[in-house]
Amino acid sequence: DAGVIQSPRHEVTEMGQEVTLRCKPISGHNSLFWYRQTMMRGLELLIYFNNNVPIDDSGMPEDRFSAKMPNASFSTLKIQPSEPRDSAVYFCASRGTATNEKLFFGSGTQLSVL
């Protein structure tokens, strides 16, 4: 099993540009989570999906952030337009079932907005 796969590993962009982060969860997992990690705020849950449906997006900081999960094997997190304060490491995680509390994290995308 390849685990949760995120791309790109690093993204450097200029303020105002659109950024798209990608995630492929573990096959068979039906829950997917997007987290953001910063020194100041630690690990924050942005949004999660169950069976490809967004359930709770209360952690999404602003309307500039959006997430989709068009199918069970792919999700995107988009920031448009990006701002320097969006610089962080963005993690995707997946989980098998609601009764299995164990989260599997990807290696993250390091985003730098200049």
Partner 1 sequence: AQSVAQPEDQVNVAEGNPLTVKCTYSVSGNPYLFWYVQYPNRGLQFLLKYITGDNLVKGSYGFEAEFNKSQTSFHLKKPSALVSDSALYFCAVRGLYNFNKFYFGSGTKLNVKP
Binding site for partner 1 (CB under 8 A): 4, 31, 33, 42-43, 45, 48, 50, 55-56, 91, 93, 98, 101-108
DSSP 40: T
Which lies closer to partner 1 via its Cβ, residue 41 or residue 85?
Answer: 41
Provide, rounded to whole angstroms, the least separation between the CB of residue 60 and partner 1: 14
Provide, rounded to whole angstroms, the least separation between the CB of residue 65 and partner 1: 18
**Distances 35 to 38, 67, 105, 106 between C-alpha atoms, Å:** 10, 12, 10, 10
Provide, rounded to whole angstroms, the least separation between the CB of residue 76 and partner 1: 18
Which lies closer to partner 1 via its Cβ, residue 95 or residue 113?
Answer: 95
Q: 19 with 111: CB under 8 angstroms? A: yes
Which lies closer to partner 1 via its Cβ, residue 15 or residue 55?
Answer: 55
Name, in order, each residue with C-beta under 8 angstroms of 87's C-beta and a sequence gap of 6 or more.
Answer: 38, 111, 112, 113
Provide, rounded to whole angstroms, the least separation between the CB of residue 42 and partner 1: 5
Give the three-class secondary structure for 86: helix
